[in-house]
Amino acid sequence: MNNKKILITGASVGGNTVAWWLSRHGFNVTVVERADNFREGGQNVDVRGAGREVLSRMGLEQAALDLTTGESGTDWVDEENRVIARFAVEDIGDGPTAELEIMRGDISRIIYEPTRKCAKYCFGDNIVDIVQDEKGSLVTFNSGSTEYFDIVIVAEGVGSSTRELVFPGENRMRYMDLTIAYFSIPGKDSDGKFARQYNTTGGRGATLKPGADGNMRVYMGVHKVSENEQKWSVERQKQFLLDQFAHDGWEFPRILKEIPGVEDFYFDVMRQVKMDRWSKGRVVLTGDTAWCATPLSGIGTTLAIVGGYVLAGELAKTDDHTAAFAAYERIMRPFVKEGQGLPKIVPRLLWPHTRFGLAFLRAVMRLAGTKAMRKIFSKLYLRNSKKVELPDYDLNFDRVRE
């Protein structure tokens, strides 16, 4: 079915990956992205296990390795930045810091650059209506144009509007009770090459991560029941952080001073996407749209890359899209289950509310950081990024090596 017209909506990691593979399998691919230009933003993301294997099959692994953040590992620290537990990459490999840790915009661009030479990209537009018949979908765009496609792939991230249009009410969100902000602040010489994770009481905590550009990436979170804070204005979200952390020590005074002027501010309520089905007729979901596992899983980007590879490969194998979608689900479901399998007690323990909870967390981390326990802890803490058997699809095409 390689002459078929496929529309992908969303040009981030998931959308670009499926576009890359579909183009190589010979499909006629269009990608529509709501943002006016390619989206550069985002902080550190990890590519692990099967995700690295797919990047390697694309010939893009080295390009990604060349752009890693250079973070040497993760330290759990106290108020004075004294190390409670250290997890160094050179010591344990993929741990709380992944071997291939990269900025979200960089990994997305590495896949986008070769793909835009063989797929058509339309920025600044989005789907407003889809009418399906037995042969395909008539898609109406916000710009007013309409076009007929054989298949529509939705890769719009956790808050996808097209998912709600085609599968209204089917997403059973699983809230992880964490409200989190990501942004950058200027670095200092004393910051070093290790990420620092600090927690205090009241469910508050933050990670400071060194960036390759000399800035520090801040992840700041509060463990609380969601009030849909992702829908607030940026001003209100910033004020929320200023109020929550106003009386805290550690690096918080330095961080709070920067918040009003921060530009790359990303704020969200961590929630998993739970869909009983990923396709309806000729519309299929992938990446965070289908199964967002949240950054807590450490394998959200890996799942998006692997999902794109499998979906494209299964579509290339058969003319029967229903069979292709069924095979895609069969292969991806166990991997997604692994990614989403984090019990909600974990964020609760990692973001303690009481002095006792904080003392308990630090005692556990002290033990976890010992030589005997470091690897075991990393395995328990992280989701298994290899829990999928990657099929070999017909690779009878020229690999892109930019």
Ligand X SMILES: Cc1cc2nc3c(=O)[nH]c(=O)nc-3n(C[C@H](O)[C@H](O)[C@H](O)COP(=O)(O)OP(=O)(O)OC[C@H]3O[C@@H](n4cnc5c(N)ncnc54)[C@H](O)[C@@H]3O)c2cc1C
Q: Which residues bind ligand X (CB under 6 A)?
A: 9-15, 32-35, 39, 41-43, 45, 104, 126, 155-157, 160-162, 182, 266, 287-288, 295, 300-301, 304
Contact assessment for residue 309 and residue 54, using Cβ atoms and an 8 Å cutoff:
yes
CB of 296 to ligand X, least distance (A): 9
Contact assessment for residue 126 and residue 164, using Cβ atoms and an 8 Å cutoff:
no
Which is nearer to ligand X, 84 or 336 (by Cβ)? 336
Closest residue to ligand X, based on beta-carbon distance? 287
Which is nearer to ligand X, 272 or 378 (by Cβ)? 272
Which is nearer to ligand X, 146 or 370 (by Cβ)? 146
- Cα 258 to Cα 252: distance, rounded to the nearest angstrom: 10
CA 397 to mean position of chain CA atoms: 29
Which is nearer to ligand X, 96 or 157 (by Cβ)? 157
CB of 39 to ligand X, least distance (A): 5
Q: Which of 316, 300, 376 is nearest to 95 (CA)?
A: 376
CB of 157 to ligand X, least distance (A): 3
CB of 291 to ligand X, least distance (A): 9
CB of 31 to ligand X, least distance (A): 9
- Any idea what DSSP says for residue 231? G
CA atoms within 13 A on the CB side of 285: 29
Which is nearer to ligand X, 34 or 362 (by Cβ)? 34
Spatial CB neighbours of 248, under 8 Å, sequence gap ≥ 6: 200, 204
- Cα 384 to Cα 126: distance, rounded to the nearest angstrom: 34
Which is nearer to ligand X, 10 or 203 (by Cβ)? 10
Q: Is residue 131 exposed (0-12), middle (13-18) or buried (19+ Cβ within 10 Å)?
A: exposed
CB of 284 to ligand X, least distance (A): 13
Contact assessment for residue 262 and residue 184, using Cβ atoms and an 8 Å cutoff:
yes
Residue type, 80: E
CB of 360 to ligand X, least distance (A): 27
Intra-chain end-to-end CA distance of the chain, in Å:
28
Which is nearer to ligand X, 182 or 250 (by Cβ)? 182
